[in-house]
Amino acid sequence: MPVNRNSDRYVWLQIADKIRDDVAAGVLWPGKNLPSEAQLQGEFGVGREVVRQALCLLRFEALIRTARGVGSVVRTPPEKKPLKLKRGETATIRMTTQPERRDMEWDEGVPMLVVTRTDGSVEILQADTVVLTG
Amino acid sequence: MPVNRNSDRYVWLQIADKIRDDVAAGVLWPGKNLPSEAQLQGEFGVGREVVRQALCLLRFEALIRTARGVGSVVRTPPEKKPLKLKRGETATIRMTTQPERRDMEWDEGVPMLVVTRTDGSVEILQADTVVLTG
DNA sequence: ACGTATTTGTACGTATGTATC
DNA sequence: AGATACATACGTACAAATACG
């Protein structure tokens, strides 16, 4: 099913929507390989940049992971562990920078949870791996 | 100062690094307009795609905001309000999808904090606007 | 108020490099 | 070695939103 060229929604967003919906519907699932960029180009009848923009978006949504020479796979949602802040501990959340992601070997689209203790020490956690409790 | 073509670090990452460093050093500051894409192309001696990829990265790092016809500006870091989860409340963190961002009119690179209460009700917050306390 | 210039957005094409299979 | 697949980086053209004189 090709994209709708008359839609107000941009072609690359339509493709991202389709893949996102396929994951939500179970047509694609964690660990499953996406079609290659070339296959997606053919399937949707678009150029390469459009496909790549869609995949880039989905990477920053933490929905997929892409590796050179391999392709894109649906990410497995991380296990979430409970975290209860102790008295005096505070936590803030922000996106990572690319150098941070490179050094820590984190996927794109994984926010950072910074826990600060009263003694000034900090702990960095992948924010999507915790369930905060009151 | 043009980019280093012999570096292992890709040109578009070098440009993102430079802008990130300029913000950290105070050469650029919240509210300040970045040079236009064309100016950045000339400054670094690169094509447009490279500049746009760098800016795209910085948007997803929540460092800048870009508007068509206007340009890119350094984002003002949000005010952070303390949030203390009550007993029975839990909170999880994840990146937003593009349709969510569109509907809620959030910037790219702003993670979502989902607070769930015992009665099943949920509250959505911009995760970078809170300081969680224990 | 209008037209023009500026600026970003989309979309396509090509070439080359590099990692993986 | 060869095929596959993604990454970088250049180019072009046109559209759309904004800013400006």
Residue B24 makes CB contacts below 8 A (sequence gap 6+) with none
> Residue B17: which H helix or E strand, with range?
helix B11-25
CA distances from A122 to A117, A118, B83 (A): 6, 9, 19
For residue A62, count other CB atoms closer than 10 A to its CB: 21
Residue A109 makes CB contacts below 8 A (sequence gap 6+) with A59, A60, A61, A62, A63, B95
Yes or no: say if B108 and B132 are a contact pair by the CB < 8 Å rule. no
- Partner residue facing B87 (CB), from A61, A90, A134: A134
Residue B102 makes CB contacts below 8 A (sequence gap 6+) with none
Subunit contact A133:B90, Cβ cutoff 8 A: yes
Q: From the C1' of D5, which residue's alpha carbon is nearest? A: A69
Q: Which residues in chain B are contacts of A88 at CB distance < 8 A?
A: 134
A55: left (phi over 0), alpha (psi -120 to 50) or beta: alpha
Q: What pTM was computed for the model? A: 0.94
Q: What is the pLDDT of residues A81-130, one digit of tens each?
A: 999 999 999 999 999 999 999 999 999 999 999 999 999 999 999 999 99
Angle between helices A37-44 and A48-60 (to 10 degrees): 120
Question: Closest-CA residue in chain A for B91?
Answer: A132
| SS (HEC) of B29-94 | CCCCECCCHHHHHHHHCCCHHHHHHHHHHHHHCCCEEEECCCEEEECCCCCCEEECCCCCCEEEEE
Angle between helices B37-44 and B11-25 (to 10 degrees): 110
Q: Residue B49 has which token pair?
A: 């795609």
> Residue A125: which H helix or E strand, with range?
strand A122-126
Whether the predicted pLDDT of B24 surpasses 80: yes
Q: Residue B47 has which token pair?
A: 């094509």
Q: Which residues in chain B are contacts of A131 at CB distance < 8 A?
A: 90-92
d(CA B34, CA B104): 25
Write down the pLDDT at residue A1. Answer: 66
B3 pLDDT band, cuts 50/70/90, is confident
Q: What is the mean pLDDT of chain B?
A: 95
Poorest-pLDDT segment among A3-7, A47-51, A84-88, B43-47 = A3-7
Can you tell me the mean pLDDT for A27-47? Answer: 94
d(CA A22, CA A33): 12
- Partner residue facing B132 (CB), from A60, A91, A95: A91
